[in-house]
């Protein structure tokens, strides 16, 4: 590549993909290439994709279809598909979309520069050949939230989930490397360190001495000048009492936990291979609330898993009513080829799934708004992230509770911690105003 090369990177999916995109862009830019806003101005278009649900596949395939015309207009344009959908569909991707030049799975993304060179001569498909490599981005896109993967891959094989097939087996990263990167980011002024893993709290069992995730948190908590530590996604089966204690006692760990529940029915949890039941899940929730009474809790829920009956769904509604999550990400079950659940003959009809999903969303939205209402009038510290997307005359800050607050303020405050008085509540967060001395 050379200095005139322009590229456009489109990122889909979870925070792990946001992180991988930082690695990809820093590698591509290290050759002198630079990013452009419009895909039609680019010499290379890179998709970093997700395939967790069918809707994620469709987003990418829809765009790829649109970009066929760009390839006609500029035969030198290179189209790269990276990420989880690349790993899932591999060769099929090029057969279906001949405009694609390079297909590269997540474990090979660190080789993207040499693969792009090869793809200029012939089409390349590069899938899961290598062991996972941990690479820090050579440069980061901002200096507010610093993502650091503590592990890659997943061994859980929840029966609905494609992730273990596309991200491979769990591999933890040595603690020293994680702490060193966190220290470097804190020195650079990052306000928030965000630890990532498909199953972040199964960290360490594959490493010598079997360090635990709670021990890792303790080390990171001790870094000089660190302000906020977050992590996703913990798995309930590995959320042991030492981790509950660590969240409570480590002062820089945000008092906000995202704990995917998936279902409130023990029968469905078993069919999902989640390895916990609702009683064990509730025990963790109560343990966390005992340590930190005001802790913010969020979750993921799947509606319409094969064989889910009205009674199973009612049990999910019950537990949602009981727990009173601050926030939930709620999904209609989407069959993924190759997973065990996709083979179950008893699939729930689409209309029933959607009907249940809307009922759940309605219930949770009311809970989220009511929980946020309770904070109106309080002053919360927030880390200012950007101009508000809804109203660019305002700033958007994130509270420790991981909910956003929009307020009027100067854009020089982006990246700073400020105190904001919450004046009105919504399902998504609050509107507020800067507090005295904020």
Identify what 218 binds: ligand F3S, ligand SAH, ligand SF4, none; CB under 5 to 8 Å per kind.
none
Tell which positions 136-195 bind ligand SF4, by CB under 6 A: 154, 156-158, 161, 163-164
Q: Which two tokens stand for residue 308?
A: 């889910």
Identify what 109 binds: ligand SF4, ligand SAH, ligand F3S, none; CB under 5 to 8 Å per kind.
none
Angle between helices 213-221 and 175-187 (to 10 degrees): 30
For residues 233 and 402, which CB has a smaller minimum distance to ligand SAH in the complex?
A: 233
Rounded distance between C-alpha atoms, residue 180 and residue 186, angstroms? 10
Tell which positions 365-384 bind ligand SF4, by CB under 6 A: none
Identify what 164 binds: ligand SAH, ligand SF4, ligand F3S, none; CB under 5 to 8 Å per kind.
ligand SF4
* Residue 313 binds ligand SAH (CB under 6 A): no
- From candidates 24, 33, 46, 52, binder to ligand SAH by CB under 6 A: 52
Q: Provide the 3-class DSSP secondary structure of residue 422.
A: strand
Rounded distance between C-alpha atoms, residue 203 and residue 134, angstroms? 14
Containing 229, the helix (H) or strand (E) segment is strand 228-232
SS3 readout for 41-100: HCCEEEEEECCCCHHHHHHHHHHHHHCHHHHHHCCCCEEEEEEHHHHHHHHHHHHHCCCC
DSSP 8-state symbol, 297 = E
Q: Provide the 3-class DSSP secondary structure of residue 15.
A: helix
* Residue 13 binds ligand F3S (CB under 6 A): yes
Q: Nearest-5° angle of CA 42, CA 44, CA 50?
A: 110
For residues 231 and 430, which CB has a smaller minimum distance to ligand SAH in the complex?
A: 231
Tell which positions 73-92 bind ligand F3S, by CB under 6 A: 84
- Taking contact as CB under 6 A, which single stretch among the options 63-71, 159-167, 309-317, 363-371 is the one that binds ligand SAH? 159-167
Identify what 17 binds: ligand F3S, ligand SAH, ligand SF4, none; CB under 5 to 8 Å per kind.
ligand F3S
- Taking contact as CB under 6 A, which single stretch among the options 45-53, 169-177, 345-353, 409-417 is the one that binds ligand F3S? 45-53
What do you get for the CA distance between the two ends of the chain, in Å? 47
Rounded distance between C-alpha atoms, residue 59 and residue 89, angstroms? 14
Containing 8, the helix (H) or strand (E) segment is strand 6-11
Tell which positions 159-198 bind ligand F3S, by CB under 6 A: 163, 166-167
What's the min distance (Å) between Cβ of 161 and ligand SF4?
3
* Residue 9 binds ligand F3S (CB under 6 A): no
For residues 191 and 236, which CB has a smaller minimum distance to ligand SF4 in the complex?
A: 236
Tell which positions 226-255 bind ligand SAH, by CB under 6 A: 233, 235
What's the min distance (Å) between Cβ of 68 and ligand SAH?
28
DSSP 8-state symbol, 253 = B
* Residue 158 binds ligand F3S (CB under 6 A): no
- From candidates 52, 127, 156, 414, binder to ligand F3S by CB under 6 A: 52
SS3 readout for 350-419: HHHHHHHHHHHHHHHHHHHHHHHHCCCCCEEEEEEEEECCCCCCCEEEEECCCCEEEECCCHHHCCCEEE
What's the min distance (Å) between Cβ of 235 and ligand SAH?
6
Among candidate residues 271, 179, 279, the one with its CA nearest the CA of residue 229: 179
* Residue 199 binds ligand SAH (CB under 6 A): yes
Among candidate residues 231, 298, 226, 239, the one with its CA nearest the CA of residue 274: 239
- From candidates 198, 201, 202, 263, binder to ligand SAH by CB under 6 A: 198
Q: Provide the 3-class DSSP secondary structure of residue 296.
A: strand
- From candidates 48, 199, 201, 402, binder to ligand SF4 by CB under 6 A: 199
Other beta carbons within 10 Å of 216: 24
Q: Which residue is nearest to ligand SAH (CB)?
A: 300
* Residue 160 binds ligand SAH (CB under 6 A): yes
* Residue 198 binds ligand SF4 (CB under 6 A): yes
- From candidates 127, 163, 182, 380, binder to ligand SAH by CB under 6 A: 163
* Residue 119 binds ligand F3S (CB under 6 A): no
Total binding residues toward ligand F3S, as defined by CB under 6 A: 11
Residues that bind ligand SF4 (CB under 6 A): 154, 156-158, 161, 163-164, 198-199, 235
């Amino acid at each position: 590549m050379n200095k005139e090369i322009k590229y456009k990177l489109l990122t889909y999916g979870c925070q792990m993909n946001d992180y991988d995109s930082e690695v990809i862009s820093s590698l591509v830019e290290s050759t002198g290439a630079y990013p452009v806003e419009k895909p039609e101005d680019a010499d290379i278009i890179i998709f970093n994709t997700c395939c967790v649900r069918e809707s994620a596949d469709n987003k990418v395939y829809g765009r790829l279809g649109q970009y066929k015309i760009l390839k006609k207009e500029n035969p030198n344009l290179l189209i790269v598909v990276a990420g989880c959908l690349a790993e899932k569909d591999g060769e099929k991707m090029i057969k279906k979309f001949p405009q694609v030049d390079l297909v590269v799975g997540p474990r090979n993304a660190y080789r993207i520069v040499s693969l792009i060179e090869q793809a200029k001569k012939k089409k390349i498909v590069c899938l899961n050949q290598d062991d996972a490599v941990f690479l820090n981005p050579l440069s980061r896109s901002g200096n507010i939230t610093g993502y650091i993967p503590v592990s890659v891959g997943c061994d859980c094989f929840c029966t609905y989930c494609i992730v273990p097939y596309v991200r491979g087996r769990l591999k933890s990263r040595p603690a020293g490397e994680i702490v060193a990167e966190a220290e470097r980011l804190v020195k650079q002024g990052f306000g928030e360190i965000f630890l990532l893993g498909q199953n972040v709290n199964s960290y360490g069992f594959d490493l010598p001495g079997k360090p635990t995730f709670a021990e890792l948190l303790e080390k990171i908590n001790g870094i000089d000048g660190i302000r906020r530590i977050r992590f996703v996604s913990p798995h309930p089966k590995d959320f042991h009492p030492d981790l509950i204690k660590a969240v409570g006692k480590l002062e820089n760990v945000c008092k906000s936990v995202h704990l995917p529940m998936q279902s409130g029915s023990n029968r469905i949890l078993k069919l999902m291979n989640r390895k916990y039941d609702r009683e064990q899940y509730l025990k963790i929730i109560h343990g966390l609330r005992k340590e930190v009474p005001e802790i913010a809790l969020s979750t993921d829920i799947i509606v319409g898993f094969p064989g889910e009956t009205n009674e199973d769904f009612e049990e999910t509604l019950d537990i949602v009513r009981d727990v009173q999550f601050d926030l939930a990400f709620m999904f209609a079950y989407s069959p993924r080829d190759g997973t065990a659940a996709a083979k179950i003959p008893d699939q729930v009809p689409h209309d029933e799934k959607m009907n249940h999903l809307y009922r759940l969303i309605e219930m949770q939205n009311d809970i989220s708004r009511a929980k946020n209402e309770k904070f109106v009038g309080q002053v919360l510290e927030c880390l200012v992230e950007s101009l508000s997307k809804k109203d660019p005359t305002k700033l958007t800050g994130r509270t420790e509770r991981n909910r956003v607050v929009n307020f009027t303020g100067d854009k020089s405050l982006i990246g700073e911690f400020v105190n904001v008085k919450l004046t009105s509540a919504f399902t998504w967060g609050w509107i507020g105003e800067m507090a005295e001395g904020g």
